[in-house]
Chain A
Amino acid sequence: MTTKLFGEPIPRREDPRLVAGAGRYLDDIDEPGQLAAAFVRSPHAHASIVDIDVTGALEVDGLVAVYTYEDLAGPLAQPLPLLIPHPSLRAARTPYPLAKDRVRHVGEAVAMVVATDRYLAEDAAQRIRVTYQPLPPVVGLDAASKAGHLVHEDVPDNVSAHLVQEVGDAAAAIAAAPHRLHLELHIERSASMPMEGRGVHARWDETDRSLRVYSSTQTSTSLRFALAAKLDLPVDRVEVVTPDVGGGFGVKIVHPWPEEVLVPWAAIRLRRPVKWAEDRREHFISSAHERGQQHSVDVGFDDDGRLLGLSVKFLHDNGAYTPYGIIVPQVTSTQLPGPYRLGAYRVEFHSLYTNTVQVTPYRGAGRPHGVFVMERTMDAIAAALGLDRTVVRERNFIQPEQMPYDQGLIFQDGRPLVYDSGDYPAALRLAKKLVGWDEFTAVREQARAQGRRVGIGIACYVEGTGVGPYEGAYVRVETTGKVVVATGLTTQGQGHETVFAQIAADQLGVPVENVNVVTGDTRRFAFAVGTFASRAAVMSGNAVAAAAGKVRAKALRIAGEALEVDPADLSIVDGVVSVKGTPQAAIPLASVAVLANPLRYAFDEQAKQATQFAVGGGIHRPPVAEDDEPGLAATGYYSPVRSTFANGVHAAVVETDPETAEIRILRYCVVHDCGRLINPRIVQGQVHGGVAQGVGGALYERIVYDEHGQLLNASYMDFLIPYASEVPAIEIDHLQTPSPLNPLGIKGAGEAGVIPGAAVLAAAIEDAEGIPVHRMPICPSELWELRNADHR
């Protein structure tokens, strides 16, 4: 392939639309006769529903319908799907679309109101009186594991899942080790918090009995199948279209949400378009959260700091339901080892129910917790032995020549966790250089002399990306010479319109401006998985390359026939197929597209070239050969045997205020290796955004429940997403270790920036303060408490 566009930081093709206010997000869809939905949600964390009195809602002019569980029938009256079953998930529970008899978290939907506009729907919702019998709530991992009260009556220990993986005999290795440490480490709950909440718009066409659903989702294809099943419709009568999506970060991969099935269901019943756009408070209390885990670590190591055995037991708070199975704790448990040879490793987790919002992946999806645990352990070993923290890491790194490296674990895709490639020592060397690690001792001392406290931290990670099972793409050259690319996975700001166009344009030898990319529209491409786990570039990127490669081969064949030359002697440049070295012997790709579709009817001037009396060829063979298809088009799929593994190192310098305990990030450095870069500018943007979320997760953001299960900070005023003033300038260096697993040599980049955030900032604060930091996030008052505790 040519490499003209691949690797170029070209500007994004989606931007002219988005910067002009011409994007089309879910709530931008308005059409005549449209109704609006609002939801009555539980104010209790745990309660029985005694009665629902809707009489008051009748006073609202514009009210159209009120639905409760009793209105649901058939598959819709069943719990929502368990999306990712796993043998260890022994007590999976998923919610009903509307609560049946019992609510298990504040925010669970109890009734749905439909009215002529959203204001009126909310008026009516407020007038519905639900009588609850409150039940004792289970909040926090301690309460959940004590199981004094139960979230689900039939789950006696509140445990949804229990999983152990062990490589070697960790207990024996630790017992026999010359040095041992025990650590208790905590990560608190946070949430994806995209700027745009969830939203659904549905339109039912009674004439042809078809449903079109727009959803702000990370998977349109799977939502389509889920809707067909839940609404008992043939799949080909359901289309799901993803409009512009205002961020996802994991929360929108869950599907079908209660609202996602109820809004289309209401549209069918009412024969009117219905829309629901989530408001910010709803998003806090009724979508999904992540992160909250408690880890108990035992590690054994030798005099040089080499790991001999690591045993980690942790508790994972999965909230009230488990629609996404055990993915988050499973990823934590398997990505925790990072770039290190562990010796023996045992990991055991219990996933526990609490009366809180369900927990499903948020960017990083379990990795930030695992990296926090591993890297805190590395720092503890260094401290115990009086070694430089980077030296301990270097001594434990898997070396490049050991690739592919099998960690002996089963990954989230059910396949062996085998690192495909990477140069961890090189990444660390780059990071040390970038941040000035070796010179920092002097910096620290100098600052101390001035009464300032500064500290440096470093954290390494390995990230499984590009998880299967597959993605596909359709590529067609139109008779105008324009190229249409469709892939089924969705886009929430990753620049897919640009990077997939770069790949297709390179393959086909056309200007990138001539390529139009569509994602997340089941009308255009039906088979896909979704956008999550840093997989889009790897999966759809390679699928686009595969489809475009087939189109290229076909174009060369047809052009070869037309020009009467060997296709091997042809090249395509700027949309023209020509004989290498003889550029005057040429045919535009547009004309090849015409010839690729034998015609009877000359519907336009161009079409005449392809009609039956215009084309040559033998009269004794079919116009379309048996192994061919009409059109200069092809579909390609990419299905890897296993995930690729990106890696990186972050280093940060912080300053803490001796008086106020305020924490300021002075420098934040990133070395990132995601294989070959399709568009460095976009990868850099992904890293920036990830780091901002990592900083938020380390210093500002947390979801706070009180003992009653009330979410105390369900607004942007209290859940502190960093502003520009809180996010430091980010310095980036890239390594490019191509993945051997796919033709493009790429690995995913979407989550990398966020993963080591808590680990690296905890390390830097610890270094500045000289006090162990075992719990993140940390705010100034908590640091102040730590100082006080340390002095006692």
Chain B
Amino acid sequence: MAEPMHEVALTVNGVPRGAAVPARRLLSDFLRHDLGLTGTHVGCEHGVCGACTVLLDGEPVRSCLLFAVTVDGAEVTTVEGCRSADGGLGPVQQAFQDCHGLQCGFCTPGFITTVTAYLRENPDPDQEQARDAIGGNLCRCTGYQNIVASVLRAAQLQRGGAG
């Protein structure tokens, strides 16, 4: 009962990557275990918690709900790809540290990718909008207050404010 393998080639964080995987391989497992990008975490395996959120052609998706074979040829951004151009922390990452927007850090990658995508469309959210922006991600540690602050701080950093 050997499973047929399928070549999946895509661009991850700007780098062409590929591997041969069974059709049922989840994108989350593909990123983590085939490509070694373990920053993407899996919290619930059914699309509720958002920890596995990655950007697929720029849009946030739950990588635990997608098969790797369905994203052949796509462009994927993971938390590892949210760094700044100089290799330091990206603005969203920096904001999470600045505002204590994480504790155990397990859900954090999903928030960072989600917020990264959100701020592209909404560069200047207010408090309420910032809370809405993260409304689809679960965090068990922080109570979200500092994550909301992190969204606002990230927007500020992206606009070039040092704050």
User: Which residue numbers of A lie inside 8 Å of B, CB to CB?
Assistant: 11-12, 14-16, 18-25, 27-28, 30, 59-61, 119, 193-196, 244-247, 249, 279-280, 492-495, 681-682, 684-686, 688-693, 715-717, 721, 723-725, 727, 729-730, 753
- Majority DSSP secondary structure for residues of B touching A: loop
List of 3 A-B pairs having minimum Cβ-Cβ separation, nearest first: A21-B39, A246-B106, A493-B104
A195-B140, A196-B41, A689-B141 known; A23 and B105 CB under 8 Å? yes
A11-B100, A688-B143, A723-B135 known; A196 and B48 CB under 8 Å? no
Q: Is B46's CB within 8 Å of the partner chain A?
A: yes
A16-B97, A493-B104 known; A692 and B37 CB under 8 Å? no
Decide if A724 touches B106 in the complex (CB within 8 Å).
no
A271 to B49, CA, bound (A): 36
Q: Is B68's CB within 8 Å of the partner chain A?
A: no
Decide if B96 touches A19 in the complex (CB within 8 Å).
yes
Residue interface bits B127-139, CB-to-A below 8 A is 1, else 0: 0000110111111
In chain B, positions 95-110 with a C-beta closer than 8 Å to chain A are 96-98, 100, 102-109
Q: Which of B48, B135, B138 contacts A715 (CB 8 A)?
A: B48
Decide if A692 touches B144 in the complex (CB within 8 Å).
yes
Decide if A716 touches B143 in the complex (CB within 8 Å).
no
Q: Which of B3, B46, B107, B145 has the most CB of A within 10 A?
A: B145
Chain A residues, CB < 8 A from B105 = 14-15, 18-19, 23, 244, 246, 493
B12 to chain A minimum Cβ distance, whole angstroms, is 12
26 contacts between A and B (CB under 8 A): A19-B79, A20-B39, A20-B89, A21-B79, A21-B80, A21-B109, A22-B80, A23-B106, A25-B106, A27-B38, A30-B33, A119-B22, A119-B25, A195-B51, A245-B104, A246-B41, A684-B100, A689-B103, A689-B140, A689-B143, A716-B48, A717-B48, A724-B134, A724-B144, A724-B147, A729-B145
A32 to chain B minimum Cβ distance, whole angstroms, is 12
> Whose C-beta in chain B lies nearest to the C-beta of A363?
B140
Q: Which of A14, A280, A494, A690 contacts B44 (CB 8 A)?
A: A280
Decide if B24 touches A25 in the complex (CB within 8 Å).
no
A707 to B116, CA, bound (A): 46
Chain A residues, CB < 8 A from B148 = 724
Chain A residues, CB < 8 A from B145 = 688, 727, 729-730
Chain A residues, CB < 8 A from B93 = 16, 19-20
Q: Which of B24, B39, B137 contacts A119 (CB 8 A)?
A: B24
Q: Which of B1, B2, B136, B143 has the most CB of A within 10 A?
A: B143
In chain B, positions 36-67 with a C-beta closer than 8 Å to chain A are 36-46, 48-49, 51
Decide if A716 touches B138 in the complex (CB within 8 Å).
yes
A492 to B104, CA, bound (A): 5
A511 to B81, CA, bound (A): 31
> Whose C-beta in chain B lies nearest to the C-beta of A19?
B93
A119-B24, A245-B104 known; A193 and B48 CB under 8 Å? no
Chain B residues, CB < 8 A from A60 = 1
A61-B2, A493-B103 known; A20 and B143 CB under 8 Å? no
Decide if A716 touches B104 in the complex (CB within 8 Å).
no
Chain A residues, CB < 8 A from B51 = 195
A61 to B3, CA, bound (A): 9
Q: Which of B38, B41, B82, B98 contacts A11 (CB 8 A)?
A: B98
Q: Which of B3, B49, B83, B97 contacts A195 (CB 8 A)?
A: B49
Decide if B89 touches A196 in the complex (CB within 8 Å).
no
Decide if A18 touches B108 in the complex (CB within 8 Å).
yes
Chain B residues, CB < 8 A from A730 = 143, 145
A682 to B101, CA, bound (A): 10
Chain B residues, CB < 8 A from A20 = 39, 79-80, 82-83, 89, 93
Decide if B103 touches A727 in the complex (CB within 8 Å).
no
> Whose C-beta in chain A lies nearest to the C-beta of B42?
A27
A19-B89, A19-B93, A716-B49 known; A685 and B142 CB under 8 Å? yes
A686 to B78, CA, bound (A): 28
Decide if B96 touches A15 in the complex (CB within 8 Å).
yes
Q: Which of A21, A247, A495, A691 contacts B140 (CB 8 A)?
A: A247
Chain B residues, CB < 8 A from A495 = 103
A68 to B66, CA, bound (A): 34
Chain B residues, CB < 8 A from A25 = 38, 41, 106
Decide if A196 touches B104 in the complex (CB within 8 Å).
yes
Q: Which of B22, B24, B82, B141 contacts A493 (CB 8 A)?
A: B141
A717 to B135, CA, bound (A): 14
Decide if A727 touches B144 in the complex (CB within 8 Å).
yes
A61 to B108, CA, bound (A): 36
Chain A residues, CB < 8 A from B103 = 247, 493-495, 685-686, 689
In chain B, positions 110-163 with a C-beta closer than 8 Å to chain A are 112, 131-132, 134-148
A87 to B161, CA, bound (A): 62
Decide if A24 touches B38 in the complex (CB within 8 Å).
yes
10 more A-B contacts (CB under 8 A) besides A19-B108, A493-B104, A689-B141?
A19-B96, A19-B105, A20-B39, A23-B105, A193-B140, A195-B140, A280-B45, A492-B104, A693-B140, A721-B138
> Whose C-beta in chain A lies nearest to the C-beta of B80?
A21
In chain B, positions 70-88 with a C-beta closer than 8 Å to chain A are 78-80, 82-83
A60 to B1, CA, bound (A): 6
Decide if A21 touches B38 in the complex (CB within 8 Å).
yes
A689 to B94, CA, bound (A): 21
> Whose C-beta in chain B lies nearest to the C-beta of A14?
B105
A701 to B22, CA, bound (A): 37
Chain A residues, CB < 8 A from B39 = 20-23
B57 to chain A minimum Cβ distance, whole angstroms, is 20
A22-B39, A723-B135, A730-B143 known; A247 and B48 CB under 8 Å? no
Chain B residues, CB < 8 A from A684 = 100
A119-B24, A495-B103 known; A194 and B96 CB under 8 Å? no
Q: Which of B33, B132, B135, B148 has the most CB of A within 10 A?
A: B33
A28 to B46, CA, bound (A): 19
